[in-house]
Chains A and B, each alone.
Chain A
Amino acid sequence: DTGVSQDPRHKITKRGQNVTFRCDPISEHNRLYWYRQTLGQGPEFLTYFQNEAQLEKSRLLSDRFSAERPKGSFSTLEIQRTEQGDSAMYLCASSPPSGTYNEQFFGPGTRLTVL
């Protein structure tokens, strides 16, 4: 399968713990996005990478959230000191090199539950 993959698919953690999620984009895609989605809402933009550079970050994003894409391939999203309000589906998406077409290919997501 050559689609976007995410790991783990589910994560249950206790409040205050740190969690890290991984996203493997489609291999030739240099653009990578992280989103958060809660029930009944559309995906909420978190951050954007072009290759290894983090070029965009939501101003609403808490400093407890950090993302990396060290070699311009896979990416990780870490949440420190998790809170119950962090419970959501975390989606990763990738796109091919920039052009007029902005199609994003989404992964299956990581569902986070903070107890």
Chain B
Amino acid sequence: GQQVMQIPQYQHVQEGEDFTTYCNSSTTLSNIQWYKQRPGGHPVFLIQLVKSGEVKKQKRLTFQFGEAKKNSSLHITATQTTDVGTYFCARNTGNQFYFGTGTSLTVIP
């Protein structure tokens, strides 16, 4: 269907460890977006990936779009307590956007 599946649902890491969340679709995506939602906050746009095999970096965050454009990943290197929150991927069909269930990241100091 239209949903995107995200794994894992929860991740607890020690501060300084790396973290990866995966987003999978059964159909080819035109693009994929990533958002971060802090506890009690609202989603904040991080990035959009469009091209097959695309890799983008934002400081300690690395975003990848699969070659087949059916999956994407977000990797955080050396997590910090400020990385705490839920990370969502989102796909769109026209102007309808479908968010994944998110990966909730807890960073243990």
Contacts and interface: CB of A to CB of B under 8 A. Distances in A.
A108 B99 CA distance: 17
Nearest to B3: A42
Interface stretch (A15-23, A44-52, A65-73, A78-86): A44-52
Contacts of B97: 33, 43, 45, 102, 104
A93 B98 CA distance: 14
A42 B50 contact: no
A102 B88 contact: no
A78 B31 CA distance: 31
Interface residues of A, number: 26
Contacts of B33: 102-104
Interface residues of B toward A: which range?
20 to 34
Contact of B43 (A31, A48, A106): A106
Contact of A48 (B45, B88, B95, B101): B95
Contacts, number: 56
Interface in B84-109: 88, 90, 92, 94-102
A106 B42 contact: yes
A50 B95 contact: yes
B86 to A, nearest CB: 8
Interface string B31-61: 1010000000111110010100000000000
A109 B43 CA distance: 10
Interface in A36-68: 40-45, 48, 50, 55-56, 58
Contact of B101 (A42, A101, A102, A103): A42
Given A106-B42, A109-B42, A48 B31 contact: no
B45 A45 contact: no
A42 B99 contact: yes
Interface of B: 31, 33, 41-45, 48, 50, 88, 90, 92, 94-102
Ranked 9 nearest A-B pairs via Cβ: A42-B99, A106-B42, A48-B95, A103-B45, A56-B95, A43-B99, A106-B43, A42-B88, A45-B96
